[in-house]
């Protein structure tokens, strides 16, 4: 990739990136210290006896190993720096972050998809959704919880995600979608969400790891206190991977804030130049 082409792609991401969640006014339901600051270590709020996950959240930002690229090299590979790395969690950059490519549990079918995607722009550049789990791994998103349904509203161009809490089972043959079909149930104070029925065009991460239509993603959300959620994500897809694998991360509350409207192609002027390089 030429330096000019790379510069255009980075500029495009800067243009397409949504603004971060914005302060509106102090939330009267937020516990506070004596000087009025949000008390993020206060007990988690509850709804019908279970933790209420509602709020504006963002995934933990890159670790101290952030300079290590997801390709396994010891320095960042500019060809693969596909979004602002400071706004992407390690998982968004690669579900195998920090692992050398030859250690990843890839089947030949997955390697073929990865090879093809090295010459493609990632979904965000094309104004397409990243899907699960990427929807939670860059920029802020809002959770609205009711007793029978939990909705995630991203601040990026992703569609809303619905997680049914009414006891229904996963469908046998769901229509493929970017977000898949999700159902959740409580195990103590942990919400366990299972999702399947994905569009094959979706990428698991910015590296381009594939996500098959029948992949089963199991997420475990545990709100340990007012300001923090522990999240574990397990992936099962025997069509592309030799074994299940797991990510763990944290979601941090952004108090006294809200998400703002974002339209991916609004005022976009860079895409027309990409094909000319």
> In this model, does residue 132 exceed pLDDT 60?
yes
pLDDT for res 24: 65
CA 51/CA 45 separation, integer angstroms: 6
pLDDT at 57 exceeding the cut of 80? yes
pLDDT at 43: 97
DSSP state of 145: E
The model's confidence at residue 275, banded by pLDDT at 50, 70 and 90, is low
pLDDT of 78 reads 37
Please report, rounded to a whole number, the percentage of residues in the chain having pLDDT higher than 70. Answer: 78
Mean per-residue pLDDT, 48-52: 96
| Other beta carbons less than 10 A from residue 92's beta carbon | 29
pLDDT at 146: 97
Nearest alpha carbon to residue 185 among 177, 196, 195: 195
Lowest mean pLDDT among 35-39, 136-140, 193-197, 213-217: 136-140
What is the mean predicted confidence (pLDDT) over 203-216? 95
Task: Please write the tens of the pLDDT for every residue from 140-162.
Answer: 999 999 999 999 999 988 899 99
Residue 110 has pLDDT above 90, yes or no: yes
83, two tokens? 């979004």
Q: How many CA atoms lie within 13 A of 15 on its CB side?
A: 17
> Which range of residues forms the domain containing residue 23?
3-274
pLDDT tens digits, residue range 220-256? 999 999 999 999 999 999 999 999 999 999 999 999 9
Judged against a pLDDT cut of 70, whether residue 198 lies above it is answered with yes
Using CA atoms, how far apart are residues 176 and 32, in angstroms rounded to an integer? 44
Residue 198, SS3? strand
Banded pLDDT at 38 (limits 50, 70, 90) = very high
Q: How many CA atoms lie within 13 A of 20 on its CB side?
A: 13
Average pLDDT over residues 85-112: 87
Token pair 């397990």 is found at 234
Of 98 and 22, more confident: 98
Predicted confidence at residue 46, as pLDDT, reads 97
Is 10's pLDDT higher than 80?
A: no
Cβ proximity of 138 and 88 under 8 Å: yes
The predicted-structure confidence for 82-97, as pLDDT tens digits, reads as follows 444 456 788 998 999 8
- Spatial distance between the Cα atoms of 38 and 225, rounded to a whole number of angstroms: 12
Task: Identify the pLDDT of residue 102.
Answer: 85
Q: Which tokens sit at 122?
A: 């990632």
What's the structural domain count of the chain? 1
The average confidence (pLDDT) of the chain is 84
Lowest mean pLDDT among 6-15, 181-190, 254-263: 6-15
pTM over 0.85, yes/no: no
Least confident of 40-49, 89-98, 261-270: 261-270
């Amino acid at each position: 990739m030429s330096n000019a082409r790379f510069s255009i792609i980075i500029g495009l991401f800067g243009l397409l990136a949504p603004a971060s969640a914005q302060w509106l006014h102090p939330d009267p339901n937020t516990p506070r210290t004596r000087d009025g600051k949000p008390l993020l270590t206060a007990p988690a709020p509850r709804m019908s006896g279970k933790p209420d996950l509602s709020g504006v959240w963002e995934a933990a930002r890159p670790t101290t190993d952030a300079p290590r690229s997801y390709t396994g090299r010891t320095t960042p590979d500019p060809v693969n720096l596909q979004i602002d790395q400071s706004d992407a969690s390690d998982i968004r950059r690669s579900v195998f972050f920090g692992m050398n490519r030859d250690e990843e549990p890839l089947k030949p079918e997955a390697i073929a998809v990865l090879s093809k995607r090295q010459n493609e722009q990632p979904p965000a550049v094309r104004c397409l959704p990243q899907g699960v789990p990427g929807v939670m791994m860059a920029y802020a998103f809002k959770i609205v919880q009711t007793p029978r349904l939990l909705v995630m509203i991203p601040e990026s161009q992703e569609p809303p995600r619905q997680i049914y809490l009414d006891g229904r089972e996963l469908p046998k043959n769901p229509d493929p979608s970017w977000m898949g079909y999700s159902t959740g149930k409580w195990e103590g104070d942990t919400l366990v969400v299972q999702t399947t029925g994905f569009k094959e065009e979706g990428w698991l991460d910015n590296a381009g790891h594939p996500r098959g239509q029948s992949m089963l993603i199991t997420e475990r959300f545990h709100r340990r206190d007012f300001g923090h959620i522990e999240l574990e994500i397990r992936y099962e897809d025997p069509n592309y991977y030799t074994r299940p694998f797991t990510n763990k991360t944290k979601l941090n509350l952004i108090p006294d804030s809200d998400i703002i409207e974002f339209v991916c192609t609004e005022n976009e002027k860079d895409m027309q130049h990409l094909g000319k390089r």
